[in-house]
Structure 1
Amino acid sequence: MLLAAFWISAIGLLYGFIIYPGILFFVGQLKGGKTFVEAELPRVSLVIAAYNEESVLKKKLENALEIDYPSEKLEILLGSDGSNDLTAEIASRFFDVGVKFYDYRIRRGKPSVLNETIAKSSGEVLFLCDANVMFDPHALKRLVAHLGNPAIGAVTGDVRLESHEANFGEGESAYYKLERAIQLGESKLGSVMGVDGGMYIIRRSLFDTLPSWALNEEFIASMRVIRKGFRIAYEPDAFAIETATPTATQEWRRRVRVSAGSVQILRGGFWPPATRPIELWQFLSHKALRWANPLLLAVLFVASAVLTLSGAHPLYKMMLFMQAAFYSLATLATISLAFRNTKIGGIAFYFTMSHIAMAVGMVKGLLGRQATTWKQADRTFSSHTSV
């Protein structure tokens, strides 16, 4: 049993971290894969959900007005989820240029804000984003170009994190490079397993009312697109810049919240049906297996330790040493901000912190202890910040 536990965990982790990304990286390098078909530009509704975003809202609305898209075919709607800062005052400065503002006084969470604001929109395509994401002016046209293919139901872009100033930036940067490579391969082979909530478009006809309790509402919307028989494409040339959370404490909260949402997804059956075998394989490989990683890592470590103490093959001793060394680096990076800012320290720290947060989040999800409303992250950076 112990040997079986060791090898099942080891093979599962090897497949999830190396084999599956390797397959998709190879697919992503293949020529072709573009789904552009010439078509008339559709009317688009840009929908922004915000909670206390006074620090970035003016810049966000100015950025939205600079989008390279016919103004008569683009409407901008801002929904405030019970903000108690200067959100309403800042939004009022943009009324004369066509920005529509909806001030929901009772805070209920992002899904409810999106549902109510989208109901007031008129676009045949919905363009959803976060308030701290700034678009390249050409991003929308590059996303919309995919919709000329009737098999495409949603398109996600490359949201690039400004994480170089964050105290875990090296690790986060490595993670997102891997994630984008996977998405490119998934897009060419089948369908991307989830849009980036920071910037994506979806056909209005495929958008259903989001459950008010949803923690990962963009993933639920993604799976609904796939379950209706459509694909999700990834467009690497449609990019935007997002302000990353500057401290590990805030990133921890975000990772816990996202992981709690994974429990909702599994409970609700939000995954590709068996009639979409490629997408189902992608879901199991990219998402389901990743959510199992904290358990697999714990089992691998314990099994390695027990097999080493029992005098088994030296292989298990070597595996234990490698794991202990890696987690020691993560511990050092937790203590030393300087070491955390190195590539080795940053990767060890972010990997370990993310998986512990994932485990905590899934427990909270199982117990129903994660609130739907979110705590606003600090958008400012400071060289003195160390937590």
Structure 2
Amino acid sequence: MAIVFWLAALAVAFTYAGYPLLMALLARLGARPVRLAPCTPTIDVLLVVHDGAELVGAKLGNLLALDYPADRLRVNLVCDGCNDDTEAAARAVGGPRLRVFAHESRRGKSACIADVLPHLDSELVLFTDVRQRIDTGAARALAAVFADARIGAASGELVLEADTGYGRGIDAYWRYEKLLRRLESASGSIIGATGALYAARRALLTPPPPGIILDDMWIPLAIAAGGYRIVFVPDALAHDRGASDSASEETRKRRTLAGNYQLLHRWPRLALPGAHPLALRLWGHKWLRLAAPWCLLVLLASNAWLARGGDVLYLATLGLQAAAYLLALGARARPALAGAWLPARLCGAFLSLNLSAGLALLDYLRNPNAHLWRTTRLEATGR
């Protein structure tokens, strides 16, 4: 039982601390800087929307106002079976730089991407979502990294605006996540992009399979399989409102994590060591996190068993675990506690992440075909 306890503890420790330290070491000893240069390749922006009539006007205005040569950037909006006035609102914007594609039935984002890709002939395709606001300089920042021929895709940075206790906890986790992406990028490649803002070379893009939840992982991983780098561009910013409560954030997170299970199901070679150039990073950043909730359960159960013998070490570790879980539950029950005290904020975010990861497996097993996203309204996020 002691072996079980320490193996579980090692797995959790490596997942959240050991892997980031490994990436930091690689970034320091084997840094791979990107050769940046000002450049303006032609860009096709691709935006897939379902029932986003109240958002689409502002989003299109945001995209068309980007600081990029007007004759080198075109916006392509796809209405995915919209039942509201999304298409009419988009066509009302008009102009030669906007193309609207409308599909009567809803089939999901990846199917829409696959349909529209043959119509895109620019050097880069920039993917974005309807809700987030893009900084005016984001397109230039992304384009600059493609001066390096080794770069196949580049992700921007999602900035969460959090003003509640729970939202600040998620923001703390997101800062940790972005630090990890910086380290991965500095030492080689990240393993996925930010769906709110990423770009890829059109020549390297192949249509993603219909029904894929995480196109922002499938597309970069397919490009990386050809030997190209996927990098993180912190100067390319997209802004979004952080979740104001645990329920809405965990629903979103469960769907994303279920998408990881789908990736393993659809592309099982991603789990085989050495079968993909980013296999080690996939294990360290993604697959071990899927296993972490079950390792935590094993850690708690084995610790409780060992503590029965009265060993001071195991009594102390059990006490620490109990205190951390009580603090996390307190943060969930009282968001003000999370807002006022950093340990409560971090424990709450950690519990939320692992609870979502455990439930995501059950979600995917119940419905492996749940690939249709629901648009999150601004009202739901506090705007």
TM-score of the two chains, using structure 2 as the length reference: 0.92
Query: Which amino acid in the other structure matches residue 124 of structure 1?
Result: E
Partner in structure 2 of residue 14 of structure 1: 13
Contact in 1 for aligned 2:205/2:219 (Cα 8 Å): yes
Give ranges in structure 2 of 5+ residues lacking alignment: none
Distance 1:4 1:219, change over 3 A: same
- TM-superposed CA distance for 1:336, in Å, is 1.8
1:153-207 deviation digits (Å, cap 9, x = unpaired):
1001111112235x52121111111111111111121211111111101111221
Rounded Cα–Cα distance in structure 2 between residues aligned with 1:121 and 1:168: 41
State whether residues 227 and 277 of structure 2, in contact with CA within 8 Å, keep that contact through their aligned partners in structure 1: no
Give me the whole-angstrom Cα distance separating, in 1, the residues matched to 2:274 and 2:354: 32
What is the Cα deviation at residue 326 of structure 1?
1.1
Equivalent residue in structure 2 for 1:241, among 234, 239, 242: 239
Structure 2 counterpart of 1:197, from 195, 210, 217: 195
Q: How does 1:298-377 map to 2 (within 5 A)?
A: 298-311=297-310, 313-342=311-340, 343-369=342-368, 371-377=370-376
How does 1:101-112 map onto structure 2 within 5 Å? 101-112=100-111
Q: Which residue number corresponds to residue 220 of structure 1? A: 218
Counterpart pick for 1:186 among 180, 184, 198? 184
CA distance in 1, matches of 2:345, 2:225: 37
**2: distance between equivalents of 1:94 and 1:259?**
36
Of 23-32 and 233-242, the range deviating more from structure 2 = 23-32
Deviates further, 264-273 or 251-260: 264-273
Aligned to 1:137: 136
Relative distance call for 1:123 and 1:361 in structure 2 (3 A) is: same
8 Å Cα contact 1:245-1:378 kept in structure 2: no
Q: Tell me, what secondary structure is at the counterpart of 2:363?
A: helix
- Residue 258 of structure 2 aligns with which residue? 260
Residue aligned with 2:270, SS: coil
Change (3 A) 1:206 1:269: farther
Shift in Å, 1:324: 1.0
For residue 281 of structure 1, give the secondary structure of its aligned residue in structure 2.
Answer: helix
Counterpart of 1:209 in structure 2 is: 207
1:85 aligned partner:
84
CA RMSD of aligned residues (A): 2.4
SS in 2 for 1:93: helix
Q: Distance in 1 between matches of 2:249 and 2:24?
A: 27
Question: How big is the shift at 1:319?
Answer: 1.3
- Residues 78 and 344 (structure 1 numbering): CA distance in 2 closer, same or farther, change over 3 Å? same
| Identical pairs, percent | 25
Q: CA deviation at 1:65?
A: 1.0
Matched residue type, 2:292 = N
How far did 1:335 drift? 1.9
State the shift of 1:97 in Å.
5.1
- 1:4-48 superposed Cα distances (whole Å, 9 cap, x missing partner): 211111111111111221333455578975413447522111001
- State the shift of 1:276 in Å: 7.8
Measured in 1, the distance between the counterparts of 2:293 and 2:3 equals: 18
**Offset of residue 337 of structure 1:** 3.0
**What one-letter code is carried by the residue in structure 2 that aligns with 1:247?**
D
Deviation larger for 199-208 or 275-284: 275-284
Deviation at 1:274, TM superposition (A): 5.5
* Per-residue deviation, residues 114-140 of structure 1 (Å, max 9, x unmatched): 222223222121100111121111111
Structure 1 counterpart of 2:50, which letter? Y
Q: Distance in 1 between matches of 2:82 and 2:243?
A: 20
Give, in whole Å, the separation in 2 of the partners of 1:378 and 1:132: 8
Deviation sequence 1:32-67 (CA, Å, 0-9, x none) = 754134475221110011122233222211110111
Cα-to-partner distance string for 1:292-318 (whole Å, 9 max, x where unaligned) = 11111111111111111233x321111
In structure 1, the gaps of 5 or more residues are none
TM-score (norm: length of structure 1): 0.91
AA aligned to 2:355 is I
Question: Would you say 1:35 and 2:56 are equivalent positions?
Answer: no
Letter in 1 for 2:330: L
